[in-house]
């Protein structure tokens, strides 16, 4: 959650943030004064109880003191109940306040205002009209949208033959690339509990975007243990450290993880309904770092380059944009998007999003480090980025490497991962 000291910085986001902040401040003031009053009463009770422990239990002084304390005790209980309500309210309000943008984040209204940081490679040229990946995939017999819909529903797809094999190869290729550059590989659960999602910022605000598991539960079930299909490995891997104090000497910590990701895509009706771009289930290799505050922006740049390396090694043309204040995600302080070129759609499409959350997630998930032995614990900074989205990489390969005859050349770096196959041709 946002550091209360930074409430003014978050106002750059505009919109209704100002009213959220004002509402929180007002409740928090009441919370503080309630805390003060209650502490005074509790101090009285503690002192009286200590005196009482020295009295003879059979004496009249004891009986008198006990009866007097009874009413004080009742008042304290009432005060505690009131304070608990205020604390819950303040906490709920705080969880709804987004992260403060970093000073280097450009002003802007929406994605059209995102400045391009740089472009890698050049747009490939074709002697024919490039096809969209769904046309290529269907004519090659490797993307079966109809079957996915029949088995599960819309926005689910069956990959066959070369598409399946390329997916498997891409996962291994990316994990190998990242582990060679200092990331430890993690294979986490695909299902996460509510508390984990709150820790990384997906909840409470975005519950409608998630698939929730419905399981018979007793009436006393703790909602913190409600289960959801994880929308990104960011949740699992960051929460590897929830409620932990890590040794400062171990930072930065760098992880990579492959996981399936599940998103309900509420509110995306009608968008990208064709093809693999926007699915309810997709695969992704994620990069996650925990760093000290002074190192986090350097580590963000490095992580972005590590994500870019995947596209470069595959020879895929792309550009990098810096998200402006109006397009910045809820919990991010700064984000770069990697956008790969899709000739079949004549557009750059997001294939990786690399963000520094500063201490926003760490404060929610209680991930701290001790700068030096004996120091007070301090929130770490968390950074993550796709490294990169598997399905969209498959899309980019199909579209950028397509040939006049409808076949698709396999990027040379990927061939060792698909049994040496050099070209995908239609199934006979």
Interface residues toward RNA, by CB under 7 A:
32, 35-36, 38-40, 42-43, 45-47, 49-50, 52-53, 57, 66, 69-70, 73, 84, 218, 220-222, 225, 245, 368, 373-374, 376-377
Length of the chain: 428
Residue 27 vs 389, nearer CB to RNA: 27
| DSSP string for 81-121 | HHHHHHHHHHHHHHHTS-PPPPTTSPP-SSGGG--EEEEES
Assess contact for 406 and 395: CB atoms under 8 A.
no
Query: Least distance (Å) from RNA to the CB of residue 377?
Result: 5
CA distance 66 to 58: 12
Alpha-carbon dihedral angle through residues 411, 413, 418, 420, given to the nearest 10 degrees: 90
Query: Least distance (Å) from RNA to the CB of residue 175?
Result: 20
| DSSP string for 295-357 | GHHHHHHHHHHHHHHHHHHHT--EEEEEPPTTT--TT-SEEEEEEEEETTTTEEEEEEEEEEE
Assess contact for 202 and 242: CB atoms under 8 A.
no
Residue 31 vs 178, nearer CB to RNA: 31
Query: Least distance (Å) from RNA to the CB of residue 211?
Result: 20
Query: Which residue has 């079949």 as its token pair?
Result: 344
CA distance 415 to 320: 26
Query: Least distance (Å) from RNA to the CB of residue 151?
Result: 21
Residue 5 vs 404, nearer CB to RNA: 5
Residue 315 vs 377, nearer CB to RNA: 377
Query: Least distance (Å) from RNA to the CB of residue 92?
Result: 16
- Helix ranges restricted to H, 127-261: 133-140, 145-151, 161-180, 194-200, 233-238
Helix (H, G, I), strand (E, B) or coil at 377: coil
Residue 66 vs 309, nearer CB to RNA: 66
CA distance 423 to 421: 6
Within a 13 Å sphere around the CA of 148, how many CA atoms are in the beta-carbon half?
19
Residue 118 vs 376, nearer CB to RNA: 376
Residue 38 vs 240, nearer CB to RNA: 38
Query: Least distance (Å) from RNA to the CB of residue 83?
Result: 10
Query: Least distance (Å) from RNA to the CB of residue 64?
Result: 11
């Amino acid at each position: 959650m946002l550091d209360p000291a930074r409430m003014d910085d978050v106002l750059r986001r505009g919109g209704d943030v100002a009213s959220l902040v004002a509402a929180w401040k007002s409740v928090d003031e009441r919370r503080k004064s309630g805390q003060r009053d209650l502490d005074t009463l509790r101090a009285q009770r503690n002192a009286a109880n200590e005196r009482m422990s020295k009295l003879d239990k059979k004496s009249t002084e004891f009986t008198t003191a006990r009866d007097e304390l009874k009413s004080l005790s009742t008042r304290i209980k009432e005060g505690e109940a009131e304070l608990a309500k205020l604390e819950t309210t303040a906490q709920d309000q705080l969880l709804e306040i987004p992260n403060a943008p970093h000073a280097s984040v450009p002003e802007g209204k929406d994605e059209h205002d995102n400045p391009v940081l740089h472009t890698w490679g050049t747009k490939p040229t074709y002697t024919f009209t490039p096809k969209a990946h769904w046309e290529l995939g269907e004519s090659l017999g490797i993307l079966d949208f109809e079957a996915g819909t029949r088995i599960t529903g819309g926005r689910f797809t069956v990959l066959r033959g070369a598409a399946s094999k390329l997916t498997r190869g891409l996962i291994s290729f990316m994990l190998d690339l990242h582990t060679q550059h200092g990331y430890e590989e993690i294979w986490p659960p695909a299902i996460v509990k509510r508390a984990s999602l709150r820790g990384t910022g997906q909840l409470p605000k975005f519950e409608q975007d998630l698939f929730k598991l419905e399981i018979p539960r007793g009436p006393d079930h703790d909602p913190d243990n409600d289960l959801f299909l994880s929308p990104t490995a960011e949740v699992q891997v960051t929460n590897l450290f929830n409620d932990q104090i890590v040794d400062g000497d171990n930072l930065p910590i760098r992880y990579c993880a492959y996981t399936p990701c599940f998103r309900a895509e509420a509110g995306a009706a009608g968008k990208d309904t064709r093809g693999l771009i926007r699915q309810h289930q997709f695969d992704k290799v994620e990069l996650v770092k925990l760093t000290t505050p002074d190192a986090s922006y350097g580590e963000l740049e490095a992580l972005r380059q590590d994500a870019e390396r995947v596209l470069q090694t595959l020879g895929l043309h792309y550009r990098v944009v810096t998200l402006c204040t109006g397009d910045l995600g809820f919990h991010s302080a700064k984000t770069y998007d990697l956008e790969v070129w899709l000739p079949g759609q004549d557009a750059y499409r997001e294939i990786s999003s690399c963000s520094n959350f500063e201490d926003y997630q760490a404060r929610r998930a209680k991930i701290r480090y001790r700068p030096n032995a004996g120091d007070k614990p301090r929130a770490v900074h968390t950074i993550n980025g796709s490294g990169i989205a598997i399905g969209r990489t498959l899309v980019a390969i199909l579209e950028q490497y397509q040939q006049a005859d409808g076949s698709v050349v396999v990027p040379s770096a990927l061939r060792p991962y698909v049994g040496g196959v050099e070209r995908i041709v239609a199934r006979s």
